[in-house]
Amino acid sequence: MLWSDIVEIFVITTVISYLITPLVRMIAFRTGYLDHPKSNKVHAHPTPLLGGVGIYIAFTAGLFTTVNLGQDPRLLSIIIGASILLVVGLVDDRMGMMPEVKLLAQFLAAMVVIKSGVRIGFLQNYYLSTILTYLWIVGITNSFNLLDNMNGLSAGIATIAAVFFGIVMWSGSQISIAVVSFAIAGSSLGFLKHNFPEAKIFMGDSGSLVLGFLLASTAILGSWSTRFLTTSLAMPVIILAYPIFDTTLVTIMRIKEGRSIFQGGRDHSSHRLALLGFKKKRAVLVVYGICICLGVSALLIQRLSLKSAFVVIGIVIMSLFALGVRLAMVDTGRFGRIKSVKEAG
């Protein structure tokens, strides 16, 4: 595979996702697959929920047309795992689902890829490596599911993260993994045009679960080998640091307030940014900017000495910590009194 293969799959997946999304939107209206306005949502009209189907179709079609899946069973296992979560997400979007059942499905999808040989490799102990892989895949999958709370947020962050994954893999001559990364990026980007700044369609759980799973699995599938183990481990974590940050913030605040961590609400980092004075669109763009900075930081530590890399990692940690402290001070109860702040899903 060459650099042209990366460009090809990015273009293919972007175009397919962009063109097929209006079609699945029409199907959603005809089948009643809609997100109806509720007390904890502010969109005024029923909105289609099948965006995840378009993302999934674009991703799988891109891989099947550009990659020989028979040469690497791990790629096929990732598609199977994503298919499981697509179905689970569609059921959840239509009828609702207990969090425990959804969590079990995520472990099942993770098991599929782990059985094919996709495991975190820096631990020599098989059982520890397997447990950590389960936790990583399920954790990142859930973080993107929780992150889908404003127009364009989850799809945009997925696009940015996947692009940086692809750059790292390409620079390390892992072209096949770079192709997978840019397939994720293209699938997300094509959908994004229909979801941001105004949402004509939502990706739903079928989209957020699939995107989180694909990114988590691809991060393990690729090799992040640098001169130092610390920087190798830090790179994918830094690229995906914002979803991890948002989930951590929400979990801590809900536990502190005595609420279930599975309970929905307008207490995510994006909502808190909106309450600090950013309009919805600008709040999402601010998050995009943070994610780009995180991706650049990951590229930097790949090339720096260990001491300099630790400085960059320290700056990232302290910056996110400071942001978390500031956002935790925001009174999210004010949302009920601010009608101009809107949320999508």
Residue 120 CA neighbour count, 13 Å, CB half: 21
User: Residue range 303-327: average pLDDT?
Assistant: 94
DSSP, collapsed to helix, strand or coil, labels residue 223 as coil
Residue 345 banded pLDDT, cuts 50, 70, 90: very low
> Could you tell me if residue 172 is inside a domain?
yes
pLDDT in tens, 212-249: 999 999 999 887 766 777 788 899 999 999 999 999 99
Residue 326: C-alpha distances to residues 4, 130, 172, 269 (Å):
44, 36, 37, 10
Residue-level pLDDT at 335: 53
> Could you tell me if residue 156 is inside a domain?
yes
> Could you tell me if residue 345 is inside a domain?
no
Range of the domain at 69: 3-337
In angstroms, rounded to a whole number, what is the distance separating the alpha carbons of residues 141 and 243? 10
Does position 61 have pLDDT exceeding 90, yes or no? yes
| 47 beta partners | 35
**Amino acid of residue 226:** T
User: Is the distance from CB of 88 to CB of 138 less than 8 angstroms?
Assistant: no
User: Which range, 30-39, 185-194, 323-332, is most confident?
Assistant: 185-194
Whether the bond between 197 and the residue before it is cis, its omega within 30 degrees of 0, is: yes
> Could you tell me if residue 344 is inside a domain?
no
Does position 45 have pLDDT exceeding 80, yes or no? no
Q: What is the DSSP letter of 330?
A: S
> Could you tell me if residue 342 is inside a domain?
no
User: Residue range 264-288: average pLDDT?
Assistant: 89
DSSP, collapsed to helix, strand or coil, labels residue 192 as helix
| Percent of the chain residues past pLDDT 70, beyond the cut | 93
User: Residue range 86-95: average pLDDT?
Assistant: 93
The burial of 32, by beta-carbon neighbours within 10 Å (0-12 exposed, 13-18 middle, 19 or more buried), is given as: exposed
Dihedral of CA atoms 216, 137, 59, 177 in degrees, nearest 10, equals 40
> Could you tell me if residue 59 is inside a domain?
yes
pLDDT in tens, 92-124: 998 888 889 999 999 999 999 999 988 988 888
In angstroms, rounded to a whole number, what is the distance separating the alpha carbons of residues 86 and 84? 5
Residue-level pLDDT at 313: 95
Counted domains in the chain: 1
In angstroms, rounded to a whole number, what is the distance separating the alpha carbons of residues 143 and 49? 19
Residue-level pLDDT at 301: 92
How high does pLDDT run on average in the chain? 89
Q: What is the DSSP letter of 32?
A: T
Q: What is the DSSP letter of 48?
A: E
> Could you tell me if residue 72 is inside a domain?
yes
Alpha helix ranges (H) inside 148-225? 153-171, 175-192, 204-221
Q: At 318, which helix (H) or strand (E)?
A: helix 306-328
Does position 342 have pLDDT exceeding 70, yes or no? no
